[in-house]
Structure 1
Amino acid sequence: MSSGPEPTWRKPAGMMAILTLILVWIVLVATFSAEIGSLPVLVQLIIYLVLGIVWILPLKPLLRWMELGRWR
């Protein structure tokens, strides 16, 4: 009797990679927060909106790798 597919090391490794990506992104954005904070509010809004979306881009291939074991 089979209980399903065998668990792989990719999911825990992928979760650690996602958490590391988020941590690095937070530190990077926080490093430039003083410079961004000196800009006009509308420019800050656009910058933070873009930075809030851009970090998601590497997640799609990473999540695919975690699930299927391949990048493409």
Structure 2
Amino acid sequence: MPLRLKKLIGTILIVVLVILYALLATSFASAYLGSSSGWVHLLYFALSGLLWILPAMLIIKWMAGPRQKP
């Protein structure tokens, strides 16, 4: 697959990932953490705000493709 096509697909996947993840994380928080303290909210959103990076890193690694030897 050409590198430009992989980058286009990867970019679209990352945008979709971020949108879906934000909707899911916010829906979960509003459904289950409504009556929790502010510290629980802070901890949840700090962790969930960093968790999306893991799948995004995998997509970026796929986009870059295998390293070519010089």
TM-score under structure 1 normalisation?
0.77
Higher RCO, 1 or 2 (CA under 8 Å, sep at least 6)? 2
Query: Could you say which residue in structure 2 is the equivalent of 1:53?
Result: 50
Q: CA deviation at 1:69?
A: 5.2
Query: Could you say which residue in structure 2 is the equivalent of 1:14?
Result: 10
Root mean square deviation of aligned Cα: 1.9
Q: CA deviation at 1:55?
A: 0.6
SS at match of 2:33: helix
More helix by share: 2
2:25 is equivalent to residue 29 of structure 1: yes
1:50 aligned partner, one-letter code: L
Deviations 1:2-51 (A, max 9, x none): xxxx7531001000000000011111022123232321111111111100
SS at match of 1:39: coil
Q: Show structure 1 runs of 4+ deviating over 4 A.
A: none
Name stretches of at least 5 consecutive residues in structure 1 with no aligned partner.
1-5
Task: Report if aligned partners of 1:11, 1:66 keep a CA contact under 8 Å in 2.
Answer: yes
Task: Report if aligned partners of 2:3, 2:63 keep a CA contact under 8 Å in 1.
Answer: no
2:11 aligned partner, one-letter code: M
Identical residues among aligned pairs (%): 28
